[in-house]
């Protein structure tokens, strides 16, 4: 299956530090089989989809500057009304009989690791120094450190296969 890896940072990203095909670790021990460059049009569409479809509704908006998104707040609401109730429900469904059933472990792991339940991965760096992309829980944890109105910058956007 294919999805996107989106580079995001709390400060502007120099073009020479944009995520590219050589930036991400691929292979059997990675979340990514392979990556591919995309067109500028596809990149812009991915940024719009990020804000309008993949992230929690209303939590972000497109920025006034190119390649920016704005955090509108709402983390506490999302945590209290969306993610934490799902975790509680999943935990209540576990018992001594079914906890080690692979499907139950997989569902709990996925819920904890990929809070938004999306295929999009996040490369949280403006310096292009890490070799991996992360699932949505790491992104939401990162965003949680910032105040409402904070501007985030989008760098490279890649297609990837998993």
Q: What is the mean pLDDT of the chain?
A: 92
> Does residue 56 have a pLDDT over 70?
yes
Residues 50, 56: Cα–Cα separation, whole Å: 9
> Does residue 30 have a pLDDT over 90?
no
Residue 65: band (very low, low, confident or very high) from pLDDT cuts 50, 70, 90: very high
Residues 111, 109: Cα–Cα separation, whole Å: 5
> Does residue 11 have a pLDDT over 70?
yes
> Does residue 51 have a pLDDT over 80?
yes
For CA atoms 136, 150, 144, 51, the dihedral sign is negative
Residue 12: band (very low, low, confident or very high) from pLDDT cuts 50, 70, 90: very high
At 132 the pLDDT is: 86
At 128 the pLDDT is: 64
Residues 39, 44: Cα–Cα separation, whole Å: 9
Largest CA distance in the chain: 54
> Closest Cα to residue 153, out of 122, 119, 129?
122
Instruction: Spell out the residues 6+ positions from residue 84 whose beta carbon is closer than 8 angstroms to its own.
Output: none
> Does residue 7 have a pLDDT over 70?
yes
SS (H, E, C) the chain: CEEEEEEEECCCCCHHHCCCCCCCCCCCCCCCCEEECCCHHHHHHHHHHHHHHHCCCCCEEECCCCCEEEECCCHHHHHHHHHHHHHHHHHHCCCCCCCCCHHHHHHHHHHHHCCCCCCCEEEECCCCCCCCCECHHHHHHHHCCCCCCCEEEEEEEEEEEC
> Does residue 138 have a pLDDT over 70?
yes
Residue 22: band (very low, low, confident or very high) from pLDDT cuts 50, 70, 90: confident
> Does residue 75 have a pLDDT over 90?
yes
At 95 the pLDDT is: 87
- What percent of the chain has a predicted confidence (pLDDT) above 70? 98
Q: What is the tens place of the pLDDT at every residue in 90-133?
A: 998 888 888 888 788 888 999 999 999 999 999 998 776 677 89
């Amino acid at each position: 299956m294919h999805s996107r890896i989106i580079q995001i940072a709390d400060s502007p990203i120099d073009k020479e530090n944009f995520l590219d095909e050589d930036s991400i670790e691929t292979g059997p021990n990675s979340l990514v089989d392979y990556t591919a460059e995309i067109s500028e049009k596809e990149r812009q569409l991915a940024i719009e989809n990020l804000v309008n479809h993949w992230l929690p509704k209303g939590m972000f908006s497109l920025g006034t500057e190119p390649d920016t998104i704005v955090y509108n707040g709402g983390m506490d609401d999302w945590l209290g009304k969306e993610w934490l109730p799902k975790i509680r429900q999943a935990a209540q469904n576990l018992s001594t009989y079914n906890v080690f059933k692979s499907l139950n472990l997989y569902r709990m792991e996925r819920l904890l690791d990929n809070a938004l339940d999306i295929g999009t991965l996040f490369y949280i760096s403006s310096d292009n120094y890490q070799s991996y992309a992360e699932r949505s829980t790491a992104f939401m944890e990162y965003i949680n450190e910032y105040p409402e109105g904070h501007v985030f910058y989008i760098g490279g956007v890649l297609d990837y296969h998993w």
